[in-house]
């Protein structure tokens, strides 16, 4: 069974994304282009920070040396997109629609109830087994899968997200950057690239985003004590307004303070980047006690997503199954979490190829309570076990019952492409075009659309979509080259040629800003 690295398919399968030709995905070629540039940037940083900035791949605004220079909304959005593209280029993001969708919804729910609901935010999950989270300029908030798996309930994760959101809304990140007098954002991204290329820890990633010195110093404290208390205070209020139990923040801090690593390796990374004291925990608890309590929830959706994350990211399925079985034996596990543990077990069994046992568990869960997650996994199981028509029928029903649902749409389109039928591929095209309107920054969506367009016979749209997927994975040069090859073909009509030429010109401008060569005519 193949191991899970960074890209987790929405369907629970783990495979390379097919394209219209074998060489069309940048993959290792893109990483090969990035690593030498970033290593060179690090070496040059020893003598000339300016040279590092010039060699950086990403077109990011320069924040200068003062926190008084605040990014405009457009600059923040541009920086956030560039940062996410960089992380995708190094394949460190979890890209499962169900998992991402849950934490995006949680993040936006909190952000809309913050003191700056107008600020742009981007929420991502990193496939790294460390207990940490970080906030970056531009409104990017990242949760590491180790932190998600360590939480007892959704309120603890909401507490972490609310805390990180407060760091952004209160401009703590800009104040930290002000202390790095010569640190510009392009240089910070060069350092981030180096950390990602080397499989760096969450602490090192946070350091790279704040400054070069922080990236090199394991004990660096990124925010002042005052910043941390302020983020706690504002975050707890945000949690309460958003309908989460504000006690979750203090509970998670207290849990982290009790955890020690085996063989004296020190506290979890979260404590090194977010130091917690007894007085800080007490203050968080006291503040939460004075907030209204939300209506109790069984947390079923969180537990399902948490179990899915564990089942998909554990390298050996049997390890995940053993963990689920051990957890089920605990007396303090409620019904909602127990169901999630069976759901996670079914996904792990499917990864092993034990389809019959997986189907029994999923069908039993569905018989007791309807849930989209069970339906989607059963459809995926049908596809894996060769029951294509049953999968398509199930997904078609879901698609019409929940119009616009991203996870359902992605899986439905993929099922329609299973048999390479042009008519079904045309249906997939329609489904995916609707999703592109609401998820224009999703490279997996463009890759799937490219497959559907190719099978449906729309070769031009397929190649355009592949180019966009390159771009969203950090391959600006590769995207431009793909389109340059396409526009040279003689059978394009006037509108196709005009559309493609316009996009090439946009990419050329971006390449010029990055100091890279333009694609040859």
Query: Three-state SS string across 175-221, please?
Result: HHHHHCCCCCHHHHHHHHHHHHHCCCCHHHHHHHHHCHHHHHCCCCC
The strands making up 122-126's β-sheet, listed across from edge to edge, are 122-126, 140-144, 133-136
What pLDDT is attached to residue 57? 35
- Chain-centre distance of CA 452, in angstroms? 24
- 339 as an active site residue: the answer is no
Tell me how far apart the alpha carbons of residues 86 and 473 are, in angstroms, rounded to a whole number.
7
Q: Is residue 232 annotated as part of the catalytic site, yes or no?
A: yes
Q: Which residue shows structure tokens 């051990």?
A: 326
Q: Provide the b/e sequence for 479-509 (b: ≥16 CB within 10 Å).
A: bbbbbbebbeeeebeeebeebbeebbeebbe
Residue 199, both tokens: 């499989």
Angle at 170 between CA 166 and CA 172, to 5 degrees: 95
> In CATH, what class is 300-514?
mainly alpha
The pLDDT of residue 219 is 32
Place of tokens 């945000």: 238
Longest dimension (CA), the chain: 72
By the 8 A CB rule, do 315 and 3 touch? yes
The pLDDT score that the predictor gives to residue 74 is: 77
Cα 136 to Cα 70, 122, 174, 211, 271, distances in angstroms:
14, 10, 10, 11, 18
344: Cβ contacts below 8 Å, ≥ 6 apart: 307, 308, 310, 311, 320, 324
Q: What was the pLDDT predicted at 172?
A: 79
Task: For residue 297, give both structure tokens.
Answer: 């929830």
Q: Give the pLDDT confidence score for residue 70 in this predicted structure.
A: 56
Q: List CB contacts of 228: < 8 A, sequence separation 6 or more.
A: 274, 275, 280
Given a contact cutoff of 8 angstroms between Cβ atoms, the answer to whether 235 and 159 are in contact is yes
The one catalytic residue in 56, 96, 153, 164 is 164
* pLDDT at res. 451: 98
- Give the pair of three-digit tokens for residue 302: 């969180």
Q: Looking at 96, 156, 228, 232, which residue is catalytic?
A: 232
Domain boundaries in the chain?
75-289, 300-514
Q: CA 8, 274, 193, 71 torsion: positive or negative?
A: positive
- What is 332-384 written as a DSSP string? T--HHHHHHHHHHHHHHHHHHT-HHHHHHHHHHHHHHS--HHHHHHHHHHHHH
Distance CA 473, CA 25 (A): 10
For the chain, how far is it from start to end, CA to CA, in angstroms?
A: 44
Which residues, including other chains, have CB under 8 Å from residue 239's CB and lie 6 or more apart? 110, 155, 158, 159, 162, 245, 246, 248, 249, 291
Q: Which residues contact 209 (CB under 8 A, 6 or more apart)?
A: 134, 136, 137, 188, 192
Which residue is associated with the tokens 């609401």? 438
pLDDT, one tens digit for every residue, the chain (521 residues): 433 333 333 443 333 333 443 344 444 444 444 443 333 333 323 322 222 233 333 334 443 334 435 567 777 788 888 889 988 988 889 999 999 999 999 999 999 999 999 888 999 999 988 888 888 888 999 999 999 999 999 999 999 999 999 999 988 776 655 555 444 455 555 555 555 544 555 555 555 554 444 443 433 345 577 888 899 999 999 999 999 999 999 888 888 777 644 334 455 555 555 656 677 788 888 888 898 889 889 999 999 999 999 999 999 999 999 999 999 999 999 999 999 999 999 999 999 999 999 999 999 999 999 999 999 999 999 999 999 999 999 999 999 999 999 999 999 999 999 999 999 999 999 999 999 999 999 999 999 999 999 999 999 999 999 999 999 998 999 999 999 999 999 999 999 999 999 999 999 988 887 666 554 54
Apex 150 CA angle, 145 and 152, nearest 5:
125
């Amino acid at each position: 069974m193949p191991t899970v690295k960074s890209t987790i398919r929405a369907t629970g399968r783990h495979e390379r994304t097919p394209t219209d030709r074998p060489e069309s995905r940048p993959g290792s070629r893109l990483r090969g282009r990035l690593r030498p540039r970033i290593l060179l940037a690090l070496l040059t940083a020893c003598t000339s920070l300016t040279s590092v900035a010039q060699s950086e791949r990403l077109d990011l605004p320069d924040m200068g040396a003062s926190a008084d220079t605040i990014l405009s909304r457009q600059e923040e959005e541009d920086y956030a997109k560039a940062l996410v593209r960089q992380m995708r280029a190094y394949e460190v993001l979890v890209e499962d629609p169900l998992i991402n969708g849950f934490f995006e919804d949680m993040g936006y729910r909190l952000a809309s109830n913050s003191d700056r609901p107008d600020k742009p935010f981007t929420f991502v999950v990193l496939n790294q087994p460390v207990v940490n989270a970080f906030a970056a300029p531009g409104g990017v908030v990242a949760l590491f899968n180790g932190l998600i798996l360590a939480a007892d309930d959704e309120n603890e994760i909401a507490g972490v997200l609310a805390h990180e959101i407060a760091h952004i809304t209160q401009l703590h990140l800009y104040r930290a950057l002000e202390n790095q007098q010569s640190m510009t954002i392009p240089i910070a991204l060069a350092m981030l690239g180096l950390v990602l290329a080397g499989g760096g820890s969450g602490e090192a990633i946070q350091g790279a985003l704040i400054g070069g010195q922080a990236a090199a110093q394991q004990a660096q404290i990124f925010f002042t004590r005052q910043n941390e208390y302020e983020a706690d205070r504002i975050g707890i209020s945000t949690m309460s307004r958003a309908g989460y139990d504000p006690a979750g923040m203090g509970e998670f801090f207290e849990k982290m303070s009790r955890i020690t690593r085996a063989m004296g390796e020190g506290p979890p990374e979260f404590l090194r980047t977010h130091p917690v004291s007894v007085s800080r925990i007490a203050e968080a608890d006291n503040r939460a006690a004075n907030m209204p309590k939300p209506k109790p929830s069984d947390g079923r959706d969180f537990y399902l997503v948490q179990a899915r994350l564990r089942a998909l990211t554990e390298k050996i399925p049997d390890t995940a199954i053993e963990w689920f079985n051990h957890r089920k034996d605990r007396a303090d596990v409620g019904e909602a979490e127990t169901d999630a543990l069976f759901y996670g077990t079914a996904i792990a069994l499917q990864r092993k190829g034990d389809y019959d046992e997986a189907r029994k568990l999923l069908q039993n869960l569905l018989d007791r309570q309807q849930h989209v997650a069970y339906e989607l996994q059963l459809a995926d199981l049908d596809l894996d076990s060769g029951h294509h028509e049953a999968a398509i029928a199930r997904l078609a029903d879901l698609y019409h019952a929940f119009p616009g649902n991203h996870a359902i749409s992605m899986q439905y389109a993929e099922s329609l492409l299973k048999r390479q039928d042009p008519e079904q591929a045309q249906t997939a095209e329609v489904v995916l075009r609707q999703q592109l309107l609401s998820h224009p920054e999703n490279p997996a969506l463009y890759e799937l659309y490219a497959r559907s367009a190719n099978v449906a016979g729309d070769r031009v749209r397929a190649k355009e979509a592949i180019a966009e997927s390159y771009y969203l994975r950090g391959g600006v040069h590769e995207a431009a080259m793909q389109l340059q090859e396409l526009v040279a073909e003689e059978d394009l009509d006037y509108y196709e040629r005009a559309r493609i030429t316009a996009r090439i010109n946009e990419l050329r401008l971006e390449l010029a800003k990055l100091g890279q060569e333009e694609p040859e005519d």
